[in-house]
Structure 1
Amino acid sequence: MTTQAEGFSKTELTLAMNFLDQIPFNKLLGLKPKLLSDTRCEFSMNMRDDLVGNWLQGILHGGAISTALDVTGGAMALIATWQRMHKNEIPKEDRPKQLAKLGTIDMRVDFLHPGKGKEFIASATLLRIGNKVAVTRMEFHNEEGLLIAVGTGTYLCG
């Protein structure tokens, strides 16, 4: 697990990773935070029988892929929002209230290949952050590096 982001202490990043790891739906899908930084976020997910969407071919369900992309994009938006608040010198005690508003406004997913694999990595980078909205770009790869899906997410952040 790697963590580093401007404006976050090591303790805050550890708390963020633990928080993301405890979300019930993330746990249900088996999403695990692997990297939180100011430039990139990554989550891993293992293939399981109960995540199959096409049982004839053993392909990961598109909803699981979409959720992994959304969680990863949301984590990137969360970090970018925290950094914006840090740069704007918003007191730390006021930040959780603003972060509680974070949510997905819109997301587009393009499926490029069938979701075949044993382990998957969802990654996200920040495209833009403003006072109210953050936009992220996400990718979903299998363990062989095959790009399975890409997405763009828009998140309310203020």
Structure 2
Amino acid sequence: MSHIKTTWTGQLKIQAETSLTDILQQLCDAFNHSPFLQHNGIEMRVVDDQIQGHLNMHPNLIGNVAYEILHGGVAATLLDSLGGVVAMAELYKRADEHHRAQVLKQIERLATLDLRVDYLTAGRGQYFIAHAEVLRMGKKSCTMRMSMQNDCAVNIAVAIASYVY
């Protein structure tokens, strides 16, 4: 457990000269150390200065054995985790250099308040990619919209979540 605590988001190395890409990569690295996300094969990546969630399909992720489709809980985990890490990144993006210490505390406390997932079609594919966007950023909470597509660019699921910080 001590390894997780020392690599989690409260331990970001942010200085005045730290680039946005470096911050995004540090957030991804912190999430990628999560044992639960590792167990499910979920990985956060920085692509074109945006954080994306990635998941390769594996037999242990099948929820419906008869149809061999992705378990809905794994899809929800990908969407929720991505929404959280993108919210953290957005908090940092909006902070000026005088408020970075406060932002680090908000990032460390961020937690899901509410999550709604709509499953649009069966979770079939070799891999899945998720994207997130900010709907609203407030002083104490935010609302995010996430979507997940398969390797054929078919929308598998969408979600809206609220996070408190």
Query: Fold-level match, TM-score > 0.5?
Result: yes
Q: 1:29 to 1:114 in 2, by over 3 A?
A: same
CA distance in 2, matches of 1:145, 1:13: 24
The SS at the match of 1:80 is helix
Identity among equivalent pairs (%)? 33
Unaligned 5+ segments in structure 2 are 1-16
Letter in structure 1 aligned against 2:96: K
Matches within 5 A, 1:95-134: 95-134=103-142
Q: How many residues align?
A: 148
Gaps of at least 5 residues in structure 1 are 1-6
8 Å Cα contact 1:135-1:153 kept in structure 2:
yes
Aligned to 2:13: none
Name the counterpart of 2:27: 16
What TM-score do you get using the length of structure 1 for normalisation? Answer: 0.85
Q: Does 1:45 align with 2:51?
A: no
SS in 2 for 1:145: coil
Letter of the aligned partner of 1:74 in structure 2? Answer: G
Offset of residue 16 of structure 1: 1.6
TM-score by length of 2: 0.82
8 Å contact kept, 1:37–1:79: no
1:85-100 to 2 correspondence within 5 Å? Answer: 86-87=95-96, 89-90=98-99, 92-100=100-108
